């Protein structure tokens, strides 16, 4: 007897049926509530990351770069004293500070995402 595999998305080849109690999200209303909880937690983390900022400076404090937790640049501030470095020197300093600020923002985002994944029971490494 051959079974129609299209009626059961969890069927294996050969017609063997795989029991998947409760469906993908734990079944019933509780599963949907769990899914909605995950969505709300992800939205909360996104809002937190958007409002969080990280700031990096060069060693003299003459260049300051700020990113939000979503890795979006918010500001670049350059003091008058840094202009004496010339275009090439100032470009190098700005680039290094941008890289550092982006790295800090990325670490914050990854940390929050790992927390979310752990809360969902997903592997974090």
pLDDT in tens, 20-78: 444 444 555 567 777 788 888 888 888 888 888 999 999 999 999 999 888 899 999 99
**What is the pTM (predicted TM-score) of this model?**
0.63
Q: How many domains does the chain have?
A: 1
How many whole angstroms separate alpha carbon 45 and alpha carbon 52? Answer: 10
* Per-residue pLDDT, 86: 97
Q: What is the mean pLDDT of residues 5-19?
A: 49
Is 5 part of a structural domain of the chain? no
Is 23 inside a domain boundary?
no
Whether 14 has a pLDDT exceeding 80, the answer reads no
124 within some domain: no
Question: Looking at the predicted structure, is the pLDDT value of residue 16 above 80?
Answer: no
73: which strand partners? 67
The percentage of the chain sitting over the pLDDT mark of 90, rounded to a whole number, equals 38
**DSSP element (H, E) containing 56:** strand 53-57
**Could you tell me if residue 30 is inside a domain?**
no
Look up the domain containing 72 and give its range: 47-119
């Amino acid at each position: 007897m051959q079974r129609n595999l299209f009626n059961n998305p969890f069927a294996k080849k050969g017609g063997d049926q795989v029991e998947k109690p409760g469906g993908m999200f734990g079944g019933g209303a509780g599963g949907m509530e769990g899914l909605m909880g995950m969505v709300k937690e992800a939205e909360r983390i996104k809002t937190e990351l958007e409002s969080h900022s990280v700031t990096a400076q060069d060693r003299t404090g003459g260049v300051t770069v700020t990113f939000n937790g979503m890795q979006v640049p918010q500001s670049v501030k350059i003091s008058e004293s840094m202009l004496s470095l010339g275009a090439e020197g100032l470009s190098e300093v700005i680039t290094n500070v941008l890289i550092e600020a982006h790295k800090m923002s990325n670490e914050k985002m990854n940390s929050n995402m790992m927390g979310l994944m752990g809360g969902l029971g997903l592997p974090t490494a």
